[in-house]
Amino acid sequence: MTADEMGEAVSRAVTRLAGHDALHLCWRTPGTDMPSFGFWHRLAPNVERAQLSACYSGREPAHPAELVRRGVLGHVVDARDRRGHRILLDNGFSGELRLLLRGPHGVWGTLALFREQGGRPFEQDDVERVARLAEPLVAASRRYVTTPSLRPSGPDLPPGVIVVGADHAVRAITPDAHAWLREIRLPGSLARPEWAAT
């Protein structure tokens, strides 16, 4: 199953519990809280880029570590969250439901659901319904990453270099870096090297 197919499958499963227009499933390494991989469904790269920028600059009120500290299952980003809501509005969304995906060894990631402007806002009931999928999602994603071979099918690739400027724009990519980007097979709209390097 490709990353795009996995994103679509997760979206179908979640739709039964909470309707949404786009989805991002971000997996983190428990203990380090570092993102490791994810799946997207109908979410433009600029939304994720803006959210990542807010997260890494410390302006993210629904950061997983903050949700853990508050002891909550999830968070609804709406007009009460001015910074996060501005990112959503600028990209055609009115709200986001962000759910922690907890496993026995800590937080494995987050599931973010997005609704377009004009749609029904997310509510706490939506968070509680979607939370029922946390354990199955953790199990499915663990199977996803452990089923295929962890080694590339072809010969080992030489190191590649991507130079990124202070503005997060790609300045240069070596041919070997292009080969690596092809090898990791980023999903759909994220397959452009400019997005992969930011």
The domains found in the chain, sorted by start residue, are 3-146 (3.30.450.40), 151-192 (no CATH)
pLDDT tens figures, 118-132: 999 999 999 999 999
pTM greater than the 0.85 cutoff: no
- Residue 58 burial by Cβ neighbours in a 10 Å radius (0-12, 13-18, 19+): exposed
Q: Which residue has the higher pLDDT, 57 or 84?
A: 84
Q: What is the DSSP secondary structure assignment for residue 19, as one 8-state letter?
A: -
**54 pLDDT higher than 50:** yes
